[in-house]
Structure 1
Amino acid sequence: MKNKTLLIIGLVWPEPKSSAAGTRMLQLIELFQKQGFSVVFASAAQESDFSYDLKSIGVTTQKIVLNSNTFDDFIKELNPEMVLFDRFVIEEQFGWRVYENCPNALRILDTEDLHCLRLTRQNAVKKNIEFQLSDLLTSEIAKREIASILRCDLSLIISEFEMKILIETFKINPDLLHYLPLFYGFTAENLILSFHQKKDFVFIGNFLHEPNWDAVKQLKEKIWPEIRKELPDAIMHIYGAYPSQKVLQLHNPKENFMIHGRAENARDVIRNAKILLAPIRFGAGLKGKLLEAMQLGTPSITTNIGAEGINANYNWNGFIADDFNEFASKVVLLYQEESIWNQSQKNGFKILENRFKVDLFENMFADKINFLQSNLESHRKQNFMGNLLLHHTALSTKYMSRWIEEKNK
């Protein structure tokens, strides 16, 4: 009997060493392979030197073209049982083609994070106003993103906070959503360093992601000068893929503020630091850097937005502070007090053990997929708004794409 086929349409080729999004994609591929799916990964993006070798894990790869009926021929021939869209913009571009050419394929959206939440928060920070959940209801991105969620049979949501927003603010039927966070297991004990084996501070994050650039700016301008007054010998190490010129210009050895660019080994960089600092003012989803720090035994100090969706009722593995003066004083305290630092490290292990082990999620996810595949017709009948959005009168993305296709001939 032939394996079931899953087609993943990627916004980009996964780069697990560049961002948590790349890690997330590899985790999803592994979950589906365990369920017996043959995985085909297709993308219209250019591969980079840092793209993961998907063939090495048994994934077939396919380059595709935007706004072209060559995709229709490809998917008809492949005839997958399931299609996963990597972020809502990919569903906008390819969802209607999947619907027309493979109507019986289960359509899944991996939201990665709620783009509308991240961008609306970013807008509030730029305007120096307080973000309100009700702001989302007037967001143009939200209208597109929620429409995409409604058109799909299932959307994977990375954060419990975002599940709550979708159900309570946007009134989405919970049957269309499935909570599936990033997974982080344990590192072998001998790789966990103690308080006295670690030193200095680290921040790490892909600089194509706006919240990371903003966080580094806050560190440089508001937080690091305060820390330096108390800890003049400590060094702030900034790592991240794709640093722009404005990031590199912040490099200042006299102030012990070091911009290194891409880390050769991100895990070693986090493991060797005494504390990870993440003063994130806007964003969404889960912060992979904070979960990885917990896994590697490195306490962290972040904001409420940074910690969102991670600790629930568990104590943080360090401190959470939104006021940057308080942030700086907590950094100094944690750096100097071994007993608080040790307890923080244990708190991180506890959060991972109780909230992010893959065993907590994989069976429930497999059951959900099996249920949907067996009951797809009745599941779709219940989703009237989704059917309405697939009606030809609502498919502006389809007609825009057709127009571009004709124009390109």
Structure 2
Amino acid sequence: MDILNLCSRVPFPPKDGGTIGVWTLIENLEKIGDKITVFALNTNKHYIDVENVKDQLPENVELIAWAINTDLKWNLALKNLLFSKLPYNSERFFNAEYNHRLKELLKKKHFDIVQIESPNMGFYIPTIRKYSKAKIVARTANVENEIWQRVANAEKNTIKRIYYKILAKRMRQHEISVLQNSDAFLSVTPKDLSYFLEKLEGKKHIASAVIPTGVNAETIVNSIEEKELADFFFIGALDWIPNQEGVIWFLDNVWKEFAEKNPKKYFHIAGRYAPKSFVSLLEKYKNVVYHGEIPDANTFMRQYPVMIVPLLSGSGMRVKIIEAMANGALVISTSIGAEGIGAKNNENIFLADSGEEFIDIMTKLSENKELIHKIRTEALELVKSDFSNEQIAYKLHNFFENLINK
């Protein structure tokens, strides 16, 4: 099967939840025998020198990139607000030259499937329809409009709150439009799938499937080792607003009080692209260690025993929770942070939605080692049964085959 994957950023090397979600599917479909061409926008924010990584790619994966500047520009944002009905954060990803090169690629090569990373790459659907007979499959990593609606609800600045609400409304319309114009779509969680199917009801019958982000077998620990539950950690992309807000909320509402009572415990924070203002803010908190971008996430997660996921907004699934569980870590998360994973409170994860609940769980961790071992073991079993990349890739391959043969 020949697959063209249109990405809003270069997915290799995979270093965060977004690129991991895209790349693991590509990598494991290639292992099955599919041939994949990746045509990605190479944004200045996440720029990759593609020539330097091509020798690391699997044999049947071709990576093509087109440089584009997607920096937020206030004059263009204002123009968009006044004269467009499209969400500005997606509109930035349309590029005329990329569109032209896509046309040439489609004329030159045959593809069975064109998978687009929705909603940012949805602007290229008309070109795909015109120059290819391939089935178009939109992959939704989350419900983007829900994220912006939650950000709006939490925003105290009135002007920003109004703008975020407008953005959420436009994004909702754009997301549904992209799906309506596709032949099928993929969601990473059952919750996201149900949301989109409900919005599409009566508009168009469209094939769909839940294709979560998983982990490769070689990264999963064989068994749970006993650990002294001393330190806590957070890992995630720190240019993402929900991650920034969640970490600061945790520091203010949980860590301040907890660290005063537990001066020998530390909170380790790792992630890429943290703004200088965010890093400076971390310095005022006791026993907080900022690591910045780390060379290997798996090594980091095995070094510290307890993962904190303090998300107050967001959608989709947190890939890092699955990775942490695969590495044997204990996870304490808000309900929103754990959405889409199917984890159960007090069985394979701890859930906390208030500062008091976080503190209570963190304080009691050292008091019941048997329960902790059980939860970590059950979490590992959840990963092995539901989040094996090899099994997920076969499911997606079969979904593509059925779509082609319709």
TM-score by length of 2: 0.81
1:32-51 aligned at under 5 Å gives the runs 32-46=29-43, 48=47
1:167 pairs with 2:197: yes
| Cα displacement string for residues 277-307 of structure 1 (whole angstroms, at most 9, x for unaligned residues) | 1110000111011111110111011111011
Q: Secondary structure at the match of 1:44?
A: strand
**Structure 2 counterpart of 1:63:** 65
Contact 1:193–1:271 (CA under 8 A) maintained in structure 2: no
1:204 pairs with 2:235: yes
1:377-392 aligned at under 5 Å gives the runs none
* Structure 1: distance between partners of 2:258 and 2:54: 43
Deviation at 1:158, TM superposition (A): 0.2
1:335-346 aligned at under 5 Å gives the runs 335-346=366-377
| Cα displacement string for residues 322-342 of structure 1 (whole angstroms, at most 9, x for unaligned residues) | 112211221121245322321
How many matched pairs? 364
**Structure 1 counterpart of 2:11:** 14
* Structure 2: distance between partners of 1:26 and 1:70: 22
2:127 to 84, 93, 97: 97
1:73 to 104, 109, 123: 104
* Structure 1: distance between partners of 2:101 and 2:33: 28
2:327 to 292, 296, 302: 296
| Shift in alpha-carbon separation, 1:243–1:311, aligned structure 2, 3 A | same
> Structure 2, unaligned stretches of length 5 or more?
68-94, 158-164
**Structure 2 counterpart of 1:139:** 169
Contact 2:113–2:400 (CA under 8 A) maintained in structure 1: no
1:167-186 aligned at under 5 Å gives the runs 167-171=197-201, 175-184=206-215
> Structure 1, unaligned stretches of length 5 or more?
129-134, 376-409
| Shift in alpha-carbon separation, 1:329–1:126, aligned structure 2, 3 A | same
**Structure 1 counterpart of 2:257:** 226
| Shift in alpha-carbon separation, 1:248–1:146, aligned structure 2, 3 A | same
Judging by fraction of residues, say which structure has more helix.
Answer: 1
Contact 1:220–1:257 (CA under 8 A) maintained in structure 2: no
Contact 1:11–1:43 (CA under 8 A) maintained in structure 2: yes
Deviation at 1:190, TM superposition (A): 6.3
Deviation at 1:361, TM superposition (A): 3.5
Deviation at 1:61, TM superposition (A): 1.9
Contact 1:15–1:50 (CA under 8 A) maintained in structure 2: no
Q: Which moved more, 1:259-268 or 1:351-360?
A: 351-360
Deviation at 1:28, TM superposition (A): 1.4
Deviation at 1:366, TM superposition (A): 2.4
* Structure 1: distance between partners of 2:150 and 2:48: 33
Contact 1:199–1:272 (CA under 8 A) maintained in structure 2: no
* Structure 2: distance between partners of 1:281 and 1:315: 20
Q: Secondary structure at the match of 2:332?
A: strand
Contact 1:280–1:303 (CA under 8 A) maintained in structure 2: yes
Deviation at 1:345, TM superposition (A): 0.6
Contact 1:195–1:342 (CA under 8 A) maintained in structure 2: no
Q: Which moved more, 1:356-365 or 1:6-15?
A: 356-365
Q: Secondary structure at the match of 2:277?
A: helix
Q: Which moved more, 1:211-220 or 1:231-240?
A: 211-220
Deviation at 1:370, TM superposition (A): 1.1
Runs of 4+ in 1 over 6 A off after TM superposition: 135-138
Contact 2:26–2:36 (CA under 8 A) maintained in structure 1: yes
**Structure 2 counterpart of 1:382:** none
Deviation at 1:146, TM superposition (A): 0.8
Contact 1:85–1:108 (CA under 8 A) maintained in structure 2: yes
1:148-159 aligned at under 5 Å gives the runs 148-159=178-189
| Shift in alpha-carbon separation, 1:5–1:359, aligned structure 2, 3 A | closer
**Structure 2 counterpart of 1:397:** none
| Shift in alpha-carbon separation, 1:336–1:248, aligned structure 2, 3 A | farther
Letter in 2 for 1:195: K
Deviation at 1:50, TM superposition (A): 8.5
Deviation at 1:112, TM superposition (A): 1.4
1:353 pairs with 2:384: yes
1:258 pairs with 2:289: yes
Q: Secondary structure at the match of 1:181?
A: coil
| Shift in alpha-carbon separation, 1:327–1:50, aligned structure 2, 3 A | farther
**Structure 2 counterpart of 1:123:** 152
